Every structure is written in structure tokens, then in C-alpha cells.
């Protein structure tokens, strides 16, 4: 069956999703995510395309890009080939890293542009990894909120913020509020849920501890039988982490995790 022709954007702006081949993870650790971001920024410098937003999940990536001198297909090929080469070399493997070709949708007006940015930044919230988009390290959200050194101009925040308000301070406040609003529209999505790993589990646990037990260390909570049980039960009910990973995260015996059950 022939591939459907990609729909072209009137504005040159696309929301792009790249997925791991066979639904496998694209990133094994923070080094991998840092390398992908470095590749993305380097390709931007070389080819002059615009980045409005990104979010790296373990097994897929969201990008919001505007074409530069070359079209979206050529842009994505350069990014994919560079990261796949790095990933295969590092892990002594061969074969495809990304699943088939990337999928995309066109973004043809400012209203939808803002909505897509909100959707992309809220992916980790939707997945249950963090409570707020600013808590997630691997998205472009905080480029809009804070000033970043030499990487500031890698994300075109000025144009997006100018849609919300004339002065930057007011625009950032509006951006924060807008990012927290609910949106029932359907956006381009991957067809799988987050894959729970030791890394995503660690991020989830850190954010959960900050919200539920601020000022308390993990060791303090584990040393108390009741709070330890509460932590174990919460991770069992709210994540898909294995017994082994939960035990490793909490630095306790696997048998304790296995025996701890919610009261009926």
C-alpha cells in the first residue's frame, strides 16, 4: 500500500512526532537526551530552521518546527540520521532507531500554534511523571519562563510570547497561565503509553516526594514503617514499575516491596 502524501503547511510550521522503532526507548539515560538536544540545536544553526518547542519522552519525541532553507523531510532526515548514528555507536548495535518515517501535522494559525505548544509541554504531566510542565527537565517549557545563557536563542520564545502580550514580563505570566489551562481538542499523538523505566521512575518519585513530603529525605521516610508502606503502595498503584525497580529506587529489599499491599 503506498504511503499517503504528507500534507504541506501554509506557514511552514509542523508538529512532528518521532517514535522509537518497535516502540522501544529512544533514550537510555540523560546523556542520550542531552545528545539529541545538542544535535537538534546544531542542525538549527546549520540550516536555519526555527524551533518553537520540544519534549523528549523515553520512547518518542515531540517537536514544533518551522522550515528554513529546506523542507521538513530533509530537516528531519538530518536530525534522525545524526542521532541514530550516535545511538548505534554508543550501544554497539545496528538497525533502525526510529519507527518508520516521522508523523506530522500542519500548524496554520497562531491560535493552534499556542495550543500545540501547551500540548507538547504538558506531555509529561499527562503521562503522570510530573505535576506541572516546569518540573520536567527534557522539554523547552523553561526556555519560555527563564533566561538561558548561550542557548537562549535556540528556542524562538520571542515570537510566541509576543502573541500573548507586548512586554516580556506580562507575556511570561500569561504563558504560565495559558499552559495550565485544559484543552479538550485532539492533537497528534503516539499510540502507546509511557514506558516506565528506572529513569522515569526516579523523576516521578522525586516530584512526588517534593509535593507530598517537602523537606523530608527519602531515608527518613523509608526508616518509618508507615511512610515506607505508603510510598511502596503509591508506586505500585500509580506507576507500572517492576518490583525490582521500586526496590532499587527506595533502596530496600525486594521482599519488602512484594509483601507490602494496600489495605482493603
> Could you give the residue range(s) of every CATH 3.30.70.1290 domain in the chain?
13-180
**pTM for the complete prediction?**
0.70
Per residue of the chain (264 residues), what is the pLDDT tens digit? 344 556 788 899 999 998 887 667 888 889 999 999 999 999 999 988 999 999 998 888 999 999 988 899 999 999 999 999 999 888 888 778 887 678 888 898 999 999 999 999 998 888 888 889 999 999 999 999 986 544 557 899 999 999 999 999 999 999 999 999 887 666 766 554 555 667 778 888 888 888 788 888 999 999 999 999 988 988 887 777 878 888 888 999 988 988 887 654
Tell me the fold of 13-180.
Answer: Alpha-Beta Plaits (3.30.70)
SS (H, E, C) the chain: CCCCCCCCCCCCEEEEEEEEHHHCCCCCCHHHHHHHHHHHHHHHHHHCCEEEEEEECCCEEEEEEECCCCCHHHHHHHHHHHHHHHHHHHCCCCCCCECCCCEEEECCCHHHHHHHHHHHHCHHHHCCCCCCHHHCCCECHHHHHCCCCCCHHHCCHHHHHHHHCCCHHHHHHHHHHHHHCCCCCCCCCCCCCCCCCHHHHHHHHHHHHHHHCCCCCHHHHHHCHHHHHHHHHHHHHHCCCCHHHHHHHHCCCHHHHHHCCCCC
Amino acid at each position: 500500500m503506498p504511503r499517503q502524501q504528507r500534507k504541506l503547511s501554509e506557514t511552514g510550521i509542523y508538529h512532528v512526532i518521532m517514535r522509537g522503532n518497535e516502540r522501544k526507548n529512544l533514550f537510555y539515560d540523560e546523556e542520550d537526551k542531552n545528545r539529541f538536544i545538542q544535535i537538534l540545536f546544531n542542525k538549527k544553526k546549520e540550516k536555519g530552521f526555527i524551533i518553537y518547542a520540544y519534549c523528549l519522552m523515553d520512547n518518542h519525541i515531540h517537536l514544533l518546527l518551522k522550515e528554513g532553507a529546506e523542507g521538513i523531510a530533509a530537516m528531519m532526515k538530518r536530525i534522525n540520521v545524526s542521532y541514530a548514528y550516535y545511538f548505534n555507536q554508543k550501544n554497539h548495535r545496528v538497525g533502525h532507531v526510529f519507527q518508520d518515517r516521522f508523523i506530522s501535522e500542519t500548524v496554520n494559525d497562531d491560535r493552534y500554534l499556542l495550543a500545540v505548544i501547551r500540548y507538547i509541554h504538558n506531555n509529561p504531566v499527562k503521562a503522570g511523571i510530573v505535576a506541572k510542565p516546569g518540573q520536567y527537565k527534557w522539554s523547552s517549557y523553561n526556555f519560555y519562563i527563564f533566561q538561558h545563557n548561550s542557548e537562549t536563542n535556540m528556542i524562538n520564545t520571542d515570537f510566541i510570547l509576543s502573541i500573548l502580550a507586548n512586554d516580556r514580563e506580562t507575556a511570561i505570566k500569561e504563558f504560565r497561565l495559558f499552559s495550565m489551562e485544559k484543552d479538550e481538542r485532539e492533537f497528534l499523538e503516539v499510540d502507546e503509553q509511557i514506558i516506565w523505566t528506572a529513569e522515569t521512575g526516579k523523576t516521578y518519585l522525586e516530584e512526588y516526594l517534593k509535593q507530598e513530603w517537602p523537606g523530608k529525605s527519602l531515608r527518613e521516610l523509608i526508616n518509618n514503617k508507615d511512610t515506607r508502606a505508603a510510598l511502596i503502595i503509591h508506586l505500585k498503584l500509580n506507576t507500572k514499575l517492576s518490583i525490582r525497580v521500586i526496590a532499587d529506587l527506595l533502596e530496600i529489599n525486594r521482599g519488602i516491596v512484594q509483601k507490602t499491599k494496600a489495605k482493603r
